[in-house]
Structure 1
Amino acid sequence: MWSAYRQLPKTKLVGCWAHVYRKFFEATPKQADKKSLGRKGLDYCDQMFSLEASWAELSSAERLCKCKERLAPLMTTFFDWCRNQSVLPGSKLGRAITYALKYEETFKTVLTAGSLVLSNNLAERAIKGLVMGRKNWLFSQSFEGAKSSAIILSLLETAKRNGLDSEKYLTYLLEKLPNEESFAKKAVLEAYLPWSETVQADCK
């Protein structure tokens, strides 16, 4: 977990449970017994992802209720289990447990909002194009350039996730936004977000 993120103001980190799963997976031999500690750690993760998958069609408010009711107790059990294990710190299993406990509060952030998810895999796949591209264009030349790239990419990927044609959406913004007299009111910008009814009607 990149330490620089922890220095950003007004930022709350959300830990990725796929990373926890991966560390326990790497610590568990293929022939390991089902009752082995590594398998147990994987089982906890599987239960969490299974619960989340079963809530896919729920609203954010409903998901939050489910998180507090079902997911929170399961996480508490998992972290208590981690604390009660006696394994070599330098072993793969020891490192998996240490990693989970080190960022425990970060992994629990998902319990604070129904819009959050256990895994960051979706976001990582969304920026794959940028990661591949930067090997060709190498640099953003400046901090502001990198910041602008991040904003535009985030906006376009959010548009895709909301079922929009990203090119139509970008064109819509470039044509409509300059005609607004002021952005002081929150409602003005909200009308241009990918999930607004007007945008949904014009940019698919």
Structure 2
Amino acid sequence: MKLNAFERAAMNNPVRAAHQHHREAAWFRRLSGGGLSGQQVLEVGCGRGVGAEVILDRLGAAWVAAFDLDESMVELAQRRLHGRPVQLSVGDVCEIAQPTASVDAVVDFGIIHHVPDWQQAVAEIARVLRPGGLVLFEEVPREMLDTWAFRTFTVHPHENRFQPGDFADELARNGLHGSGEIERHLGGMVFVGAVRKTEPAP
């Protein structure tokens, strides 16, 4: 689902950008064991391009492919990231236009809770990730989406939402396993974690 006007303003402003560059980047650096140095990375839901900046500048990726369902966001990202090693496109996380096992890491800055069929999104992320590859995720749990503020000011699917445990179970069903506990941050408003794709049996 595309963001409404309130969500676009909340997600596309200097305060949010600073939070991504500093606090969220620090979470992901720690969870990844030091960053994504030299890696080929896919960002699902690029917005206006701040996440790709973080992946390049704070996590050290060599190259980023990023997409968004909203054409206007992709246009903003193209202007922001002009000349950088980023491939941008309009796309759907349930039908990722990347070959199977083609990226070293996938980064999700809070996109999957917007997706009605989020289980298909997880399956697609697992498909494009190379064996041993990493997924870094920040997501919003069901109880936050059920609060008055979220229901009044934002637009999200109401059915088939997830708690951290549900999300971890679905990742595991797709061969994506974490080495540590999922962390809650911002008073429980978001949860973050890291999982790796299981190496195939010899």
Q: What is the TM-score normalised by the length of structure 2?
A: 0.27
Larger Rg: 1
Higher strand share: 2
Which structure exhibits the higher relative contact order, with contacts defined as CA atoms closer than 8 Å and separated by 6 or more residues?
A: 1
The two structures have a TM-score, normalised by structure 1, of 0.27
